[in-house]
């Protein structure tokens, strides 16, 4: 039933003229820079998390007598510890894993690691600099022989590690169960 629809095409063309002809250049640059700044801040925060997590992990798994790291909060001792950010100190015996009461996020995986999880089409790969992490999420931009749009999303699952989540071009944070924060890969309502 697609024949005889020339007038429909004409009507669509007429209607489309109402889109206007606003000069978008300055708006686009502003929006792009704003997004880049936001991404840079999030990437910086993720890097701090990753380094902090690595230091904490290395310290927690160090054999022998406790030797507190120079940059860490007061080391675990016989008495109860109450880090400044800990809302409710546990009464359980001191554990060598002093971060157990804090939210812990994994380090950011490499592009190669994510490629193994994503089953990309032939000739496609993830741009290493595009990999960004936010809490238990990682995103990566694919690049390949044809121009494409969208990102791949991965989620870290305790005990399972990184898992492919989905791909898309514009995620709604609420759809991912994210209701706060400023993730680089989705939009808050």
Partner 1 sequence: MPHSTDDLFGEFVRARSPALLRTAFLLTGDRHLAEDLVQDALARTHRGRHRLGDPGHFEAYTRTAMYHQHVSWWRRRRVAEFMPGELADVAQPGSDHARRTDLKLALHEALAQLTRRQRAVLVLRFFEDRSEAEAAELLHCSVGTIKSQTSKALARLRAMAPDLLAAVMEEA
- Binding-site member from 14, 61, 92, 145 for partner 1 (CB under 8 A): 14
Minimum gap (Å) between residue 23 Cβ and partner 1: 7
Q: By rule CB under 8 A, what count of residues binds partner 1?
A: 44
Element (H, E) at 113: helix 111-118
Minimum gap (Å) between residue 167 Cβ and partner 1: 9
**Region from 31-39, 77-85, 153-161, 177-185 binding partner 1, contact rule CB under 8 A:** 31-39
By CB under 8 A, tell whether 179 contacts partner 1. Answer: no
CA distance 126 to 87: 39
- Binding-site member from 21, 61, 71, 92 for partner 1 (CB under 8 A): 21
Instruction: Look at residues 134, 135, 132, 136 and name the one whose alpha carbon lies nearest to residue 151.
Output: 132
By CB under 8 A, tell whether 40 contacts partner 1. Answer: no
- Binding-site member from 48, 75, 170, 188 for partner 1 (CB under 8 A): 170
Instruction: Look at residues 119, 135, 148, 149 and name the one whose alpha carbon lies nearest to residue 184.
Output: 135
- Binding-site member from 48, 112, 187, 188 for partner 1 (CB under 8 A): 187
CB contact burial 166-178 (16+ within 10 A = b; e otherwise): ebeeebebeebeb
**Alpha carbon distances (Å) from 17 to 11, 28, 86, 149, 175:** 10, 21, 58, 27, 34
**Alpha carbon distances (Å) from 182 to 22, 39, 58, 70, 134:** 30, 9, 29, 31, 9
Tokens found for residue 9? 């095409």
Task: Give the per-residue contact string, 91-130, with partner 1 (x = CB under 8 A; - = no).
Answer: ------------------------------------x---
**Region from 61-69, 79-87, 103-111, 169-177 binding partner 1, contact rule CB under 8 A:** 169-177
Where on the chain is the footprint of partner 1 (CB under 8 A)?
A: 1-2, 4-25, 27-29, 31-32, 35-36, 127, 141, 143, 147-150, 168-172, 187
């Amino acid at each position: 039933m697609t024949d005889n629809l020339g007038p429909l095409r004409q009507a669509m063309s007429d209607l489309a003229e109402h889109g206007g002809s606003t000069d978008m250049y300055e708006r686009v640059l502003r929006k792009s820079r704003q997004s880049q700044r936001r991404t840079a801040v999030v990437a910086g925060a993720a890097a701090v998390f990753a380094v902090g997590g690595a230091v904490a992990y290395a310290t927690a798994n160090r054999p022998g007598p406790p030797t507190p790291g120079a940059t860490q909060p007061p080391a675990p001792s016989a008495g109860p510890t109450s880090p400044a950010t800990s809302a409710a100190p546990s009464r359980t015996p001191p554990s060598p894993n002093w971060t157990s009461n804090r939210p812990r996020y994994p380090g950011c995986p490499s592009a190669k690691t994510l490629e193994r999880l994503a089953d990309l089409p032939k000739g496609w790969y993830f741009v290493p600099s595009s990999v960004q992490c936010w809490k238990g999420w990682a995103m990566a931009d694919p690049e390949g022989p044809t121009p494409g749009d969208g990102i791949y999303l991965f989620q870290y699952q305790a005990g399972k590690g990184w898992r492919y989540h989905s791909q898309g071009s514009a995620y709604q944070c609420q759809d991912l169960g994210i209701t706060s924060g400023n993730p680089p890969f989705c939009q808050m309502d």
